[in-house]
Every structure is written in C-alpha cells, then in structure tokens.
C-alpha cells in the first residue's frame, strides 16, 4: 500500500479525492488543508508520494515542492491543479515535480488518471533508486579491495570498510562486530553513519537465546547472511525494534565473515527504506563479505607466524644473557649421557678451570668434586626424580681452597631433548655471616622485645616494614603480620597518609625526623597522640629505618585542657557585654574591653587607679559614694557575694545607673575581687517611657466607641474599655477574669471565634450577638488579632466588637425588595414562556405542511426570532440568580470535578491539575462558569481530545487556566464570545460566566493560539484566593 499525502485548501476536494484513492485499496491517504500543515505531517509520517494543489493561501504548490526538495530529493511529487497555465507546468518540472495533472471534468476518470500517475511515479523512483544503489555497490567492492591491499590491521580495516559502505554505498549505518567466545557476544569494533548511540543500547548473543535470534546473531550462528526487510513488523526484531525505528532504520542485512578464525564476526548494514535489500544487492554484499573473510584469514595467519618467530628470537637472546651474566655457577649436561655440554663464565672464575676442562666430562670426573659417589648418585636420582638439591656441598678450587656450595639441579626439555641444568652457589661467606648474625640477632631481639617504646623496623630503601616489637602490637592491637611488608602510609591506624609519605622521603635525605604530636588510631577505634622519632642506620651496607613511637595522649590531654580553659576564660572575659574587672582593696588590677567602653576611657587610665575615682559624690539615696563602696568591698572580701544597684561616674564625671556583682577570688595566692557591672541607664529610660506610653495607650482604648477586650489563652478576659462595660452592663472589675464567651447569645460560637484567632492569627467580620445584663441583645461583628510578648510568643487576643444593628436593618430591607422583584420576574417569565410554547407549537404545524419558496424564507426568519426570544428569557432566569447570595470561599478543584459530572465529554479527556486546597472567594454560581468552559470546549472544539485545568502564579494574583487542544478561537472573536447573543447556540454561557466572576473582581479572557486550542485565563486578585484556609 502506498502512503500518499494529499494537499488542497478545498476540504470538499480533499474528502472526495481521499475517498476515490482509498477505494482502490492500493493507497493510504493523509490530507492537509495547507502547505505548512503538509510539511509538519511529513516530519512524523512515512509518506511515499505527495499530491498537491497549486494555488493555496500562504504557500502555493510550487513553494511546497521547493521546500520538500531541500530535504527529500526522491519522493514522487504530482501537481494536481485547476490552474492550466503552461508556465506553471514548466515551473513544476524545473523544481522536481514528477507529473503535472489538471483538474476538471468527471471525477471518476480524473481520479483514475491520478491513481495511474501516482503508481507510475513511485515505480519510476524505485527503479532509479535501485540502479543508483547497484552502481554505488560496485564502487564499494572496488574500494573495499583497495583497502584490503593497503590496510593490515583488523580494526582499522573494518573501520574503513564501514566508512566505505556508508559514504560510497549510501547506507544509513553500518557496523562490524567481532565474536567474544568467553562472553558469547558479538562486540562492536567498528561503525559508521547515523549511529546515535544505537550500539550502546543493544546486546547481541551468539547463542540461540532471545538476544541472539535477531538477524546479526542468526547470521553468525547459521554461517550465512540474514536479511530483515521490514524492521517495524518483523518479529525477530522485537528486542531492537524501538531503538532502530527511533533512528530511522527500516531494513537491515547481516553478513558473517572470517568464520573459524580468531577474527570471526558479522558486518551489518542498515537502510532507511523498508524492502531495500533486493536479491541483486544481497549478492553484491555477499561478494564483499567473502573478500573481507579472505583478508582477515590472511591477517590472522600472518600475525600468528610473526608472533611465534619473534618470541623464539627473544627467548634465545634472554637465555644467553641470563646464562652468561648469572651470579651463580651453571653447568649444562646432556640429559641422557650426563656429559657436560656448556659452562658459564661465573663457574670458570669461581673454580679457576678453563671451559675445555668441563666439556665432555661427567660430574664424577671433575677433580674439584671431592665426593665422587655422591656425584654419581646425584645423576641417577636426577634421571628418575627430575630434581635434586644439596644445601652444603664441599668443593675445591684449582688453587686448593675448599668452599661450601649450594647445589641445585633439574631436568627440562629442548626440542624433545633432555637437558640437565646444575646451579652452584658459593655459600661460605653466608655461613660465617649467618653464625655472626644469629649471635647478634639474639642480643638485639631481647632489647627489641623488652623495650617500653613501640618500635617499627623498615627497609631503608623501599620503606617496607620488616619487623615490629611486642609493645606496638599491644599498644595498637594489631597482629605482627598486619605490619610486615607494608609502608607507613598503608597502615590504617596512621590517619595522615600524606604525612607518612613525606616522613619517609625526608628520612631518606635527612636521616632523622621527629614529630611531637602525631595522631594514631587503635584497632578498637581509640585515637591517641604519639611522639614519633625515626632515624636511619646501616646493617651490612643495608639501610635500616627504626621508628620509635611513644604514647603522649595523657600528657596531650592535660596540656589541651589547660589551654582550652585559659582560652575559654579569656574569650568570655573579653567578649562579655558586661564590664568585668579585678581589683584589690584599693586599685584596679585587670579589666575587659567593656569596662573601657563603660568608663569611656582607655585601659591605661583604669588599671592602677582607685575605683573611688569613678564614683559620684553621692548615691541616689543621699549616702556618700566612697563610704557605700567601702562597705560593699569589705563585705565581699569577707566571703559574702554582693549584688546591688547604684550610680557610677564615667571618666568625664557623667553619672550612669548600674547593677553590680562582687565576688571574692584567689589570684596568684592572694584574695582579690571580681566585679561584673552592667550599665542599666537605657533600661531605666525605657521603663520610664513605657510607663508614659501605657498611660497614653489607655487613653486611646478608653476613647474608642467600640467595645475592646483582651483575652488570654484560657478565654478569660484580661482587660476591657468603658464601651465594653456599657455593652454588657457590667463594671470592669466584674468582667476581668470571667469567660469571654459568657456574654454572647451563642457561647460555643463565641469560644470558637477566639480559638480561630489563636489558630489563624486573625478573624474578620465574625457575626455574634452580645447579651446585656438586662436581657437586651445587640448584633455585632467581631474582629480580632493576636498580640505577642517581647520574644514573639503569642500571649493573647485583642478583640474589637462593632454594633451592626443599623446595618442588619438595611440588609433585611434589601433582601425583602429582592424577593419581591424576583417574584415579579418569575411570574412575567412564566407567562411569556407559555405564549412562546404555543407559538412554537403552531410553527411546528406549519413546518409539516408544504410551503412555497417565498413563504418558506419568511418562516425560517420567524422560527429563528422565536428561538432568540426563548434564549433571552432563559438568560433572565440565570442572570436573576447572580449575586443573590453572598460570595463564599470555595475549593476550585472540587468545583471543576463537580461541574464535570454533567458535561457530555464523549471521547474528550478532562485533566484536573488544580492543587487541592486552592480556594477562591466567589459567587456560589461559579460552578456554572466551570461547566460553561468545559461544555463550550466539547461543543465547538472541533478536533479536541483533551481539556486541562491548572494554576499559575502571577505576582500576588492567582491565574487559573482552562486550555484545550482543539481548533481554538479566531482572533477576531476573542472578546465577542463574552457578549450576550454571540455564538452558535444561545450565546449566553460565557456572558453569564463573566458576570458571575466580576462580582468579586475576578477577570476572564481567552488568549489561545487559533488552530492550536483555546486558552481561558481567570485572574483572581490578591485577597480573593488562599491555600488550605490561610489568607493569601
């Protein structure tokens, strides 16, 4: 079936054309009313041919052809137009049209001709494409063979072949994979073209499992090519289909290569069209895979040969170097006869014999081997066991010197020939050294293990630990084998690894290091501080590092405690906001910065001076300041702490109020006094100001004509004004301490009101009725807010109560007037509706009779006028209910869900993304606004599938959005739709909606993009919306 895109601005022609073409069952037709719409459809549809009108608004058929040809040179394009001008046809062919067909005449032959042209164009394009592809593949074969001749690396060769098939062959993508026998996978090694991460997302097994049953895995397993000409519908591509289709792959072919070699793999080609791989293309690609297989098999064989030869040469060279430079004496014997066939330079120098002395002899024929029977026994044992070792064998040099040697011999094969190698090592000096070392080691070991410091011994060159004493094992809790072979920075208990590395480097250059305070951690996780001393010394020309580690944790803790205590005292002393000074009986000894600020002079004008210098002559009670000061100082020195208020003088003799504490302390063995002094001058001024402010506030409260009350958390009255006494008939003294709610007709409602204030912070216009002690009842509005203490804690409620008796009378009068008017409207509307019903009945009777043409036109006008009268009467009924009830807080999410239950959605889906708890202050009829928006969208949305409600913040305002994906509202109608009478039905729904919202200052507008859907924005101003009951 051919997929056709038919473009025309006449919808009737599109419908008839689609009908005629699809009746043949050879075509699947997609239609577009404009050129831009057609271009959008081509992005997301597999279009195989385009039929387009010429003259269309915005972009004509020739412009559409040019746009398509910039991205697709091969898709068939037929210009099908009623404009029969020659220049149009020429222009079409010059820009790549396949056919030009003129509209006109009977539809059947016209569309039969169009059917023929479409099929001819598609077949012609396919044939041209096949010829082009085959020619390009011949070029690929030629270029592939050139690459095989010049490239001798497997990976580079496969990369070049992938590039060739994409660049020269025109394939969309190609990749080569090599078989990994251990993982049972085909691993990508080369790729080219439009890959886009595809190979990262796939896994292809060589086994007959789901991930190995696609074309690539099957091709390897069966040893032959495997083709999938329809990726979208082939069941073998299930595991890889999604990724392939997303990248535009529509068919593929896989060809195995070099099977049975270490280079075995598969080359896979991808094309953008289904059905791409014809028999001819497959034969040419088979030929290419054969060339690749031959090349890789040759590379495999050549690589193995070169590797073997190189390894043999390197082995022989290494053996000869080792043999001649070995620091052991070596003899090589024939494994069957026991005759010596070679001897290295070291044995010649060690024993003093020339090489020809050894060649051809048996071991027992050599004069330097004193025990001949042992030599014969050794040869016999070697032939049966294949290995012998003697630890301490005596030999004699040509000069007659006896030496002790270690003798090791074993048998190996060289080209199936048995060879005996004897290694002889002089151990005379080692034996003497071992004896001396054992004696020295015993002495050292005793000192090492009984030391009361932790000790580590390190190799001076490598830094590896070679020993650790018992003290460090006990101190840190680690076993000996934890230390051996490690570097200092590899030990877990050393927290600072970089320091350990730095220490080793410094030791190698300086020979000595010392760290006073190094943190370590025991195996139990306890941290300790240690002193770390290390130095380097030589043992038999070997550098040894000894590290002595001493736990100084207790000493460190004591020092830190002392320093911390001193620092804390100094910090507190200097940062205190109060003045602190130390004095003896006569002068100041020390003071902090706050003392300098308090006395308004520098420290040197305080220390060494008498406190009397900073006193006024007399205290506020008239006593002499000097006598008062002596009295307090003597009492404090006797051990009795003193706390008192008084007056001091600054350096300039300005007096100020203070509160002071005196305590006796010991300083350097002598009694002294510590004084803490706080300047309370500001506090005194505030207290006086508060006293004055309290009197002022009281006068304001008493001047209020509204009753004012303060209430504590228990609901008890704390204070009232005179207006409250008058409203209740109770004196202030009797009101304070009683329950606030007791003075209202509904105590429970009054209690709920003040509790609401504690919860929400405020209450506005809360309706209550005060009961006077004489029984009179007064309607009031209760307004209240919380008040707080200095720390910000809520301590009570401040409430104001306003008499609304007159306001209630006016409201009752308005309600009565409204009821009378509504009754009048209702009676009038009922009578008119009855007459309209009769009129419509007569009109229906007339409509059933045969009418002449002239009368029929007038009849239609009468029917239309009757419908409009009925709609206007219905509008008065709905408008009558607007504003009758007071606005209330309503949850907009619940309103939308409620309205949606009565909307006939059909196939349209409604999404309510409004957050729960979002409330707006509006007329009760706002639910009808929600209904009208959804009903209008379903009725007039055209291609609509979804309606969505959501919110957006707009500064302090709230924006409620209702949008859909239908046809949208034309730009010239965006405001008219809110006018009464505009529209296809009654034209009242949106007009009423705007009236309902306007009651509480809420605005509504439509700002959608025509053609993409309607978007209604409802702007709720600040104060008219809130979240979960909290005012916003």
The mean pLDDT of 331-351, rounded to a whole number, is 90
Over 90: is that where the pLDDT of 829 sits? no
Residue 44 reports pLDDT greater than 50: yes
**Max intra-chain CA distance, the chain:** 155
3 state SS of 577: coil
Which residues does 574 contact at the CB level (< 8 Å), separation at least 6?
A: 592, 593
> CATH topology for 576-684?
Beta-Lactamase (3.30.450)
* DSSP of 604-631: GGTTTS-GGGGS-SB-TTS-BHHHHHHH
pLDDT at residue 152, as a whole number = 84
**CA distances (Å), origin 229, targets 250, 274, 285, 928:** 7, 5, 15, 58
* % the chain with pLDDT above 70: 89
> How many Å apart are CA 64 and CA 54, to the nearest integer?
9
Distances (CA, A) of 402 to 425, 426, 858, 871: 13, 10, 148, 136
Q: How far is CA 375 from CA 366, 367, 522, 861, in A?
A: 9, 11, 58, 139
Specify the higher pLDDT residue, 852 or 957: 957
Task: Assign domain 881-1031 to a CATH class.
Answer: alpha beta
Are 17 and 9 contacting, i.e. CB atoms less than 8 angstroms apart?
no
Q: Looking at the domain that runs over 2-130, which CATH code has it been given?
A: 3.40.50.2300
Count Cα neighbours of 145 within 13 Å in the Cβ-side half-sphere. 10
Residue 824's pLDDT is 57
Q: What is the mean pLDDT of the chain?
A: 85
Across 655-681, average pLDDT: 92
Distance, CA of 168 to CA of 175 (rounded, Å): 15
Residue ranges per domain, the chain? 2-130, 151-304, 326-426, 440-557, 576-684, 704-803, 809-868, 881-1031
DSSP state of 1008: P
Residues 6+ apart with CB under 8 A from 793: none
pLDDT, one tens digit per residue, over 760-789 is 889 988 989 999 999 999 999 889 999 888
- If you count them, how many residues does the chain have? 1032
Strands laid side by side in the 1015-1020 sheet = 909-912, 946-954, 957-964, 1015-1020, 1003-1006
Task: Copy the structure tokens of residue 38.
Answer: 């057609």
pLDDT number for residue 834: 42
Distance CA 524, CA 477 (A): 8
User: What pLDDT does residue 876 have?
Assistant: 58
- Split at pLDDT 50, 70, 90, the class of 575 is confident
Q: What per-residue confidence (pLDDT) applies to 772?
A: 93
* Residue found under tokens 């007159």: 806
Which residues are within 8 A (CB) of 473 and not within 5 positions of it... i.e. 6 or more apart? 479, 480
271-283: average pLDDT: 88
Burial of 237-254, coded b for 16+ CB within 10 Å and e otherwise, reads: bebbbebbeebebbbbbb
Query: Which residues pair with residue 418 across a beta bridge?
Result: 413
Is residue 550 within 8 Å of residue 471, measured between CB atoms?
no
Token pair, residue 354, equals 């020339």
Number of other residues whose CB lies within 10 A of the CB of residue 712: 14
For domain 151-304, give the CATH number.
3.30.450.40
Q: Hey, what CATH class is 440-557 in?
A: alpha beta
Question: In what side-by-side order are the strands of the sheet with 1030-1031?
Answer: 888-891, 918-922, 1025-1027, 1030-1031
Spatial contact of 758 and 769, defined as CB atoms under 8 Å apart: no
- The pLDDT-based confidence of 434 (bands split at 50, 70, 90) is confident
DSSP assignment of 300-338: HHHHHHHHHHHHHHHHHHHHHHHHHH-SSEEEEEETTT-
Prediction pTM value: 0.33
**Model confidence at 418: pLDDT above 80:** yes
Please tell me the distance from the alpha carbon of residue 169 to that of residue 142, in angstroms, as a whole number.
Answer: 11
Contacts for 433 with CB less than 8 Å, ≥ 6 apart: 540
In terms of C-beta density within 10 A (0-12 exposed, 13-18 middle, 19 or more buried), how is residue 584 classed? middle
Average pLDDT over residues 803-817: 74
CA dist list (Å): 813 to 710, 826, 883 = 35, 20, 16
Q: Cβ distance 749 to 763 under 8 Å?
A: no
Lowest-pLDDT range of 326-335, 740-749, 936-945, 1021-1030: 1021-1030
> Residue 371 — φ and ψ, nearest 5°?
-100, 90
Q: Would the pLDDT of 754 be above 60?
A: yes
Please state which of the ranges 809-813, 838-842, 847-851 shows the lowest mean pLDDT.
838-842
Gap between the Cα atoms of 469 and 467, Å rounded = 7
Residues with Cβ < 8 Å from 150, sequence gap 6 or more?
none
DSSP string, 406-428: EEEEEEEEETTEEEEEEEEEE-H
Backbone phi, then psi, for 515, in 5-degree steps?
-120, 125
Class of 326-426 per CATH? alpha beta
pLDDT band at 505 (very low <50, low <70, confident <90, very high): confident
Which range, 508-512, 531-535, 554-558, has the best average confidence (pLDDT)? 531-535
Q: Which residues contact 471 (CB under 8 A, 6 or more apart)?
A: 451, 452, 453, 454, 455
Record: fold of 704-803: Beta-Lactamase (3.30.450)
Minimal CA–CA distance to 914: which of 880, 886, 952, 876? 952
Is 576-684's fold the same as 881-1031's?
Answer: no
């Amino acid at each position: 079936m051919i997929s056709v895109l038919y473009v025309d601005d006449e919808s009737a022609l599109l419908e008839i054309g689609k009908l005629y073409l699809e009746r043949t069952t050879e075509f699947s037709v997609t239609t577009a009313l404009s050129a831009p719409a057609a271009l959008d459809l081509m992005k997301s549809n597999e279009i195989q041919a385009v039929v387009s009108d010429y003259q269309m608004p915005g972009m004509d058929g020739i412009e559409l052809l040019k746009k398509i040809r910039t991205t697709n040179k091969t898709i068939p394009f037929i210009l099908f137009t009623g404009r029969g001008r020659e220049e149009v046809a020429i222009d079409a062919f010059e820009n790549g049209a396949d056919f030009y067909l003129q509209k006109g005449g009977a539809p059947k032959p016209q569309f039969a001709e169009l059917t023929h042209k479409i099929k001819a164009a598609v077949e012609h394009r396919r044939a041209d494409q096949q010829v082009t592809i085959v020619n390009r593949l011949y070029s690929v074969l030629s270029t592939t063979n050139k690459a095989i001749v010049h490239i001798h690396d497997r990976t580079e060769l496969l990369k070049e072949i992938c590039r060739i098939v994409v660049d020269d062959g025109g394939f969309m993508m190609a990749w080569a994979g090599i078989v990994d026998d251990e993982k049972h996978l085909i691993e990508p090694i080369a790729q080219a073209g439009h890959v886009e991460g595809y190979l990262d997302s796939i896994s292809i097994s060589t086994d007959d499992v789901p991930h190995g049953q696609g074309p690539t895995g099957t091709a390897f397993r069966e040893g032959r090519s495997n083709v999938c000409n329809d990726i979208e519908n082939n069941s073998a591509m299930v595991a890889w289909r999604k990724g392939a289709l997303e990248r535009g792959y529509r068919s593929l072919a896989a060809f195995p290569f070099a099977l049975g070699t270490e280079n075995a793999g598969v080359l896979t080609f991808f094309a953008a069209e289904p059905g791409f791989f014809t028999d001819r293309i497959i034969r040419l690609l088979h030929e290419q895979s054969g060339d690749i297989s031959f090349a890789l098999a040759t590379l495999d064989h050549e690589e193995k040969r070169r590797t073997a030869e190189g390894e043999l040469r390197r082995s022989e060279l290494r053996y000869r170097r080792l043999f001649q430079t070995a620091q052991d004496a070596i003899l090589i014997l024939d494994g069957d006869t026991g005759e010596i066939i070679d001897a290295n330079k070291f044995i010649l120098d060690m024993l003093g014999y020339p090489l020809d002395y050894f060649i051809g002899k048996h071991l027992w024929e050599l004069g330097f081997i004193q025990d001949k029977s042992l030599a014969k026994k050794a040869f016999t044992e070697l032939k049966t066991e294949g290995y012998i070792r003697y630890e301490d064998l005596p030999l004699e040099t040509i000069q007659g010197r006896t030496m002790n040697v270690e003798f090791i011999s074993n048998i190996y094969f060289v080209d199936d020939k048995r060879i005996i190698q004897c290694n002889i090592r002089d151990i005379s000096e080692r034996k003497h050294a071992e004896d001396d070392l054992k004696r020295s080691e015993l002495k050292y070991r005793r000192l090492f293990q009984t030391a009361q410091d932790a000790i580590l011994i390190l190799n001076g060159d490598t830094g590896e630990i070679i020993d650790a004493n018992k003290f460090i094992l006990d101190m840190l809790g680690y076993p000996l084998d934890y230390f051996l072979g490690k570097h200092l920075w590899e030990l877990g208990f050393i927290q600072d690894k970089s320091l350990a590395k730095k220490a080793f480097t410094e030791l190698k250059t300086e020979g000595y290091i010392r760290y006073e305070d190094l943190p370590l951690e025991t195996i139990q996780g306890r941290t300790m501080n240690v002193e770390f001393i290390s130095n380097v010394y030589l043992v038999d020309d070997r550098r040894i590092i000894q590290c002595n580690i001493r736990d100084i944790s207790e000493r460190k803790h004591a020092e830190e405690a002392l320093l911390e205590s001193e620092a804390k005292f100094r910090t507190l002393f200097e940062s205190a906001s109060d003045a602190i000074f130390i004095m003896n009986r006569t002068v100041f000894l020390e003071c902090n910065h706050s003392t300098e600020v308090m006395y308004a002079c520098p420290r040197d004008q305080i220390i060494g001076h008498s406190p009397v210098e900073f006193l006024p002559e007399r205290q506020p009670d008239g006593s002499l300041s000097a006598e008062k000061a002596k009295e307090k100082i003597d009492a404090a020195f006797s051990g009795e702490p003193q706390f008192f208020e008084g007056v001091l003088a600054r350096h300039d003799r300005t007096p100020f109020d203070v509160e002071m504490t005196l305590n006796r302390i010991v300083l350097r063995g002598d009694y002294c006094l510590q004084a803490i002094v706080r300047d309370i001058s500001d506090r005194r001024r505030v207290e006086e100001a508060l006293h004055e402010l309290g009197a002022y506030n009281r006068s304001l409260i008493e001047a209020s004509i509204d009753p004012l009350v303060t209430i504590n958390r228990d609901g008890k009255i704390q204070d009232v004004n005179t207006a409250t006494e008058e409203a209740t008939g109770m004196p202030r003294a009797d009101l304070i301490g009683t329950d606030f709610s007791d003075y209202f007709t509904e105590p429970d409602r009054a209690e709920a009101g003040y509790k609401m204030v504690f919860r929400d912070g405020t209450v506005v216009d809360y309706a209550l009725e005060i009961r006077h002690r004489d029984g009179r009842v007064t309607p009031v509005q209760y307004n209240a807010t919380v008040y707080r203490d200095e720390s910000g804690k809520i301590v009570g409620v401040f409430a104001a109560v306003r008499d609304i008796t007159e306001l209630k009378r006016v409201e009752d009068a308005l309600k009565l007037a409204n009821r009378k008017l509504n009754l009048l409207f209702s009676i009038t509307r009922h009578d008119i509706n009855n007459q309209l019903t009769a009129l419509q009945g007569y009109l229906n009777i007339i409509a059933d009779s045969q009418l002449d043409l002239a009368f029929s036109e007038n009849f239609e006008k009468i029917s239309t006028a009757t419908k409009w009268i009925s709609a206007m009467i219905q509008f008065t009924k709905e408008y009558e209910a607007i504003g009758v009830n007071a606005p209330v807080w309503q949850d907009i999410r619940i309103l939308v869900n409620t309205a949606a239950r009565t909307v006939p959605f059909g196939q349209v889906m409604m999404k309510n993304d409004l957050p729960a708890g979002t409330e707006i202050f509006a007329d009760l009829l706002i639910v009808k606004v929600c209904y009208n928006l959804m009903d209008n969208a379903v009725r007039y949305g055209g291609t609509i599938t979804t309606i969505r409600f959501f919110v957006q913040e707009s500064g302090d305002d709230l924006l409620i959005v209702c949008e859909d994906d239908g046809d949208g509202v034309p730009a010239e109608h965006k405001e008219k739709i809110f006018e009464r009478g505009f529209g296809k039905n009654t034209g009242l729904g949106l007009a009423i909606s705007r009236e309902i919202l306007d009651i509480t200052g809420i605005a509504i507008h439509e700002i959608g993009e025509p053609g993409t859907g309607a978007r209604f924005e409802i702007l709720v101003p600040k104060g008219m919306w809130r979240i979960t009951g909290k005012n916003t």
